[in-house]
Amino acid sequence: MEKRRLIYLDNNATTPCDPRVVDAMVPYFYEKHGNAASRSHQFGWEAEDAVDYAREQIAALLEAEDKEIIFTSGATESNNLALKGVFEMYAKKGNHIITAETEHKAILDTCKHLEKMGAEITYLKVKEDGLVDLAELEAAIKPTTILVSIMWANNETGVIQPMREIALICEKHGVLFHSDATQAVGKIPTLPREVGIHLMSFTAHKMYGPKGVGALYVSRKNPRVKVTAQMDGGGHERGMRSGTLNVPGIVGFGKAAELAKAEMHEDAERLRRLRDKLEQALTQLEETKVNGNINSRMPHVTNISFKHVEGEGLMMTFNQNIAVSSGSACTSASLEPSYVLVGMGLGDDLAHSSIRFSLGRFTTEEEVDYAIKAVTEGVNHMRELSPIWEMYKDGVDLTKIEWAAH
Amino acid sequence: MAYSTKVLDHFKNPRNVGVLNKDAKNVGTGLVGAPECGDVMRLQIEVDEETGVIRDAKFKTFGCGSAIASSSLATEWLKGKSLDEAMTIDNMDIVEELALPPVKIHCSVLAEDAIKAAIKDYQTKNGIAAEAKVEAATA
């Protein structure tokens, strides 16, 4: 393979900063270095103005009020604050929280922690297409239920949950609705008030902003939601999140939101076309499967299983040139394949054989064309090496073999 | 985590990929691992019946780069060895040669298992294992 620039198709892990974002941030590292909480001098006022402006830019993207945006260090903190904060604040009403098995670890691990604190958690299974079953969700609600937390779009498959329908169920039963919208905000319309979401987590670095800054949307009216602060000291962010604000990061976050609002539609259409091109070309290969509901999915993501090829090995055939993620967790100590794919009923073997491609604002058609070629060659190479591909081709029923699990 | 040069070399230019006739009396086949675990190795040896030396070895592996490299290296090492010598190949020799990190040690274990399974298959086919056991029992 010819030497070329490394192609980045892992935008669900993190996006590069848009240069316009970085340009907006730079002055806040130098001459405008003030602390937004310094009320007594020009440096502080300037920083506070910058934070206020960024808050407005982000609120505009969500069609929310600026006071409904609470800055955090990222989506993991936002998810922690939402779940733990609601659990503490609404303890008198109940202790039951409903979520789904395919949520991000920032939700699942927080729920595990809350279980130790006396919470009762229902982990909904998802259907084969990755969507939650609305009837099951409604049936899980009981008098002690205080919160439903369902992600907007899945990080591994891009599958978009039926947000409006879930919100209606929550409204009907008087239960708060939180969404981890990390993968959706800035890429598709995410309007919490219009949909009926009361708390929403998101982060800058998935929408061409910097790492280390995120936000939690907290509804201020109908209903007015409050969360108990999880970090004490100073009472910043309306008392919900203390700590000196990351001013340059917040400025960048604001700029990223402004750009997303202006360019979202165009970006999404362009990426949908490129994603479809990639997906259609790669599924021309024999024995491939696209994971997740293709009609309710983020425009820039495709997750494909290449049967009888192990994902990490496949990545190794092209990772000098292309960066993607695999559902095979062979690199982690656990050796467990993706729980998201397994939760959708994919066998462990197919989960090990999956690759996630996530395109972004800076992905070009030429890069997609190159990826099609390189991945196709990689799959063919790995299948030549694969004993189970050979057996499949020879008509051996792989399910009848007694494998020695190790 | 970056791969070692040796792993990359075996991955890009795997040695002895292929298949031997598993029904031949002088061929031993070891199939270890499971698709659900993300690793399956098939390692085969062809033994010279006159000398008892491994004349040829072939493999195919479904797995990550380290698994492919481990089995590729194993086939290289097996050729020209007697069965007794082959039995002494230890997974830690593979770890050392390929500079495998701790999370990839299981790949070398699987390769050792595949070698032993192939030898055992050959011995079973040729009634050698049974004799060895009898000797051990009378000794």
All residues of chain B having their beta carbon less than 8 Å from the beta carbon of residue A389 are: 62
Contact between chains at A309 and B62 (C-beta distance less than 8 A): yes
User: Over the stretch B104-133, which tens digit does the pLDDT of each residue have?
Assistant: 999 999 999 999 999 999 999 998 755 554
Q: Domain extents for chain A? A: 7-14+264-400, 19-260
The CA distance from A226 to the nearest CA of chain B, in Å, is 43
Tens place of pLDDT for every residue, chain A, 406 residues?
A: 455 679 999 999 999 999 999 999 999 999 999 999 999 999 999 999 999 999 999 999 999 999 999 999 999 999 999 999 999 999 999 999 999 999 999 999 999 999 999 999 999 999 999 999 999 999 999 999 999 999 999 999 999 999 999 999 999 999 999 999 999 999 999 999 999 999 999 999 999 999 999 999 999 999 999 999 999 998 899 999 999 999 999 999 999 999 999 999 999 999 999 999 999 999 999 999 999 999 999 999 999 999 999 999 999 999 889 999 987 755 444 567 899 999 999 998 899 999 999 999 999 999 999 999 999 999 999 999 999 999 999 999 888 888 876 6
What pLDDT does residue A132 have? 98
CB A34 within 8 A of CB A205: no
A299: its two tokens:
């425009």
Residue with tokens 């929403």: A200
What pLDDT does residue A193 have? 98
Tell me if chain A has a CB within 8 Å of the CB of B18. Answer: no
Report how many Cβ contacts below 8 Å link chain A to chain B: 96
CATH class of A7-14+264-400: alpha beta
What pLDDT does residue B127 have? 86
Q: Which amino acid is at A86?
A: V
Handedness of CA A343, A344, A350, A356 (dihedral sign): negative
- pLDDT reading at B100 higher than 80: yes
Please state the rounded mean pLDDT for residues B5-17: 95
Tell me if chain B has a CB within 8 Å of the CB of A66. Answer: no
3-state secondary structure of B71: helix
Which of A335, A387, A398 is facing B37, going by the closest CB pair?
A335
What pLDDT does residue A66 have? 97
What pLDDT does residue A204 have? 98
Which of A316, A332, A390 is facing B60, going by the closest CB pair?
A390
pLDDT band for position B99 (cuts 50, 70, 90): very high
Residue of A nearest to B18 (CA): A385
Burial degree of A197 (CB within 10 A; 0-12, 13-18, 19+): buried
Which of B11, B36, B60 is facing A386, going by the closest CB pair?
B60
All residues of chain A having their beta carbon less than 8 Å from the beta carbon of residue B3 are: 316
Rounded to whole angstroms, how far apart are CA atoms A349 and A401?
14
User: Over the stretch B63-80, which tens digit does the pLDDT of each residue have?
Assistant: 999 999 999 999 999 999
pLDDT band for position B138 (cuts 50, 70, 90): very low
Tell me if chain A has a CB within 8 Å of the CB of B67. Answer: yes
* DSSP category for residue B3: P
What pLDDT does residue A210 have? 98
pLDDT band for position B137 (cuts 50, 70, 90): very low
Q: Which domains does chain B have, with CATH numbers?
A: 5-138 (3.90.1010.10)
Rounded to whole angstroms, how far apart are CA atoms A402 and A400?
6
Q: Is B107 a catalytic residue?
A: yes
0.90 cut: is pTM over it?
yes
Structural fold of domain A19-260: Aspartate Aminotransferase; domain 2 (3.40.640)
Rounded to whole angstroms, how far apart are CA atoms B78 and B96?
17
Interface test with A, best of B12, B21, B31, B64 (most A CBs within 10 A): B64
